[in-house]
Structure 1
C-alpha cells in the first residue's frame, strides 16, 4: 500500500502539472512550487575496495605515561655454563690483622728424621803441663805439651807463665818468647808471643810473666804445643833465663767456637 503522504504528493503534483499546461509556462511554475520527493530506489551493489593509501606522516611523540606497577618476580633461570678464568688482578693492600684463632688439636707425631751430623761439645776441653826447672837457654826449645784436639772448627787458647828475664851489662838486649803448633807459629790470626827488653842495666830482673793468645785454623788430632825463646828482631843474642826457682806451666784450652 502507498502511504498517505505519498498520495498527497502525487495529487499536488497533478494539480501543478495541469496548471502549467494551461499557462503554457511549466518551468516557472515548477521553480516556484516545490515538488514532493520520489520513492527511494533499490540500493545498488557495493563497489570494490579501493587500493590502500600511502602511509601518513609520522606523528609527534606522545607524552610519557606514568610508571606502571612493578610486575611479579619471574622464575629463576637456569645456571649458564662456567666462564673462562679471567686474568689475575694486582695484589691488594694488606688487610687488618685478624683475631687470634682457637688453638687446634695436637697433630699426630711424625716419623723420626734422619740422623744429623755430630756436633761440637759446648764444654771447654783443656790440659795443663807444669814443670820446675831453671832453664838458661838463650835460644831454642824450652818445653813441649802434647794436646789432642777434638774438632777442626775449634780454636786453641795457649798461656805460658814463668819467670823470664834478659841481661846485658852494656848496650841493649831483648828476648822473645813465642808459641808453636806442630813446629809452626800461629797464623790465624797472628803469632802468640811476648818480649822482655833491658837497656844498660846491671840488674838481674827476674820476674814472673805470662804470654797467652788464641789460635784458629788448626786441624783436629794430636797437636804439639811448644814454648821457644829467641832474639827480638834487630837484636843480638843475650843472657836469658826461663823459670828461675819457680813453677812454669803451659795451659791449653779448646774452645767450642771461635769468634772474631
Structure 2
C-alpha cells in the first residue's frame, strides 16, 4: 500500500514497508492540516471592515428607521427687512465717453433791461377860464407798444354857478380818450350857491386827475388835458390853474 500527502507544496512518498504507527500518524497529519487551512480562510473572511459596517448601518437605518414623508406645510411669511450693510468700496472711475457731435448755433435774444422813461411839463399860473376845450398838452416819446402810460395833472380847479352844474376834466392821447380800459377823468359837481347871501360859491382848490392807460402804440404821443361838461348836467363857470403851478407828469410802465 502506497500513501501520498501534500504539505507546503512538497510531495512525500511512503512505501508499504512503513510501520502501522507511522502510517497512522501520517494519516492524522494529512487530515488535520486541511482543517487548519479552512479555519484560517474562514477567519480571514470574517475580518471586520469599518467601511462595510458603515454601509450596513446606513442600509439598516433606511430599511427599519425611515418614516413616510407627509404633505408640505404652509409657506412662511417674509421676515423683516435686514439692516443696511456696510457701504462698499468706491468703484473704478469710468472712462471718458465718445465725443459728441457739434451742436447748432442758436442766437439767443435777450430783452433789454427796463429803463425809466418819464416826462414832466409844468406851467406857472395858467389861469384858463374856458369851460370847454383843451387846457394844456405835453408830447411824450413812448418806447414800447406793450407798456402802459401813467398820467397825472395837478393844478387848481374851480366851478361856479347859481344853480346845479357839473364840469369834467379828462386826458386825451393823440386826440382820443383812453379805452384801455377806461377814460382818465375827474369831475366837480356844484348844487347851488348861498341864497341867504344872494351869491355863488367861488372856491379854487388844487386837485389832480390821474390814471393808467394801456394800448397806446410806441412813438410820439400827444398827451393833453381837456375840460368839458358832465352827461345830463348843465355846464358852469370853470377855471383851471389860477394863481398856482400846474403840471402834467407822464411815465411809461412795463406791463
TM-score (norm 1): 0.54
Q: How many residues align?
A: 152
Task: Name which of 217, 221, 224 aligns with 2:222.
Answer: 224
Structure 1 residue aligned with 2:3: none
In 1: Cα distance, 2:113 partner to 2:142 partner: 12
Say whether the 8 Å CA contact 1:189–1:215 is kept in structure 2: yes
Task: Find the counterpart in structure 2 of residue 95 from structure 1.
Answer: none
Deviations 1:7-55 (A, max 9, x none): xxxxxxxxxxxxxxxxxxxxxxxxxxxxxxxxxxxxxxxxxxxxxxxxx
Matched with 1:234 is 232
1:158 equivalent to 2:158? Answer no
Match of 2:169 among 177, 192, 217: 177
Where do 5+ consecutive residues of structure 1 fail to align? 1-64, 67-104
**Per the alignment, do residues 177 and 207 of structure 1 end up closer, same or farther by CA in structure 2, a change over 3 Å counting?**
same
Point out the structure with the larger helix share. 2
Of the three residues 139, 147, 150, the one matched with 1:146 is 139
Following superposition, the deviation at residue 240 of structure 1 comes to 0.3
State the alpha-carbon separation in 2 of the partners of residues 214 and 160 from structure 1. 12
Q: Deviations over 1:109-158 (max 9, x none)?
A: x8864041x63542331000001211101110000100000000000000
Q: What corresponds to 2:70 in structure 1? A: none
Please say which structure displays the higher CA radius of gyration.
Answer: 1
Moved beyond 3 Å, runs of 4+: 110-113
Structure whose residues are more often strand by fraction: 2
Compared CA separation, residues 220 and 248, structure 1 to 2 (3 A): same
Q: Which residue of 96, 116, 125 corresponds with 1:124?
A: 116
Deviation at 1:237, TM superposition (A): 2.3
SS of the residue 1:185 aligns to: coil
From 174, 184, 195, the equivalent of 2:187 is 195
C-alpha distance in 2 between matches for 1:254 and 1:121: 14
Contact 1:123 1:256 in 2 (8 A): no
What's the TM-score once normalised by structure 2's chain length? Answer: 0.55
- 8 Å CA contact 1:175–1:229 kept in 2: the answer is yes
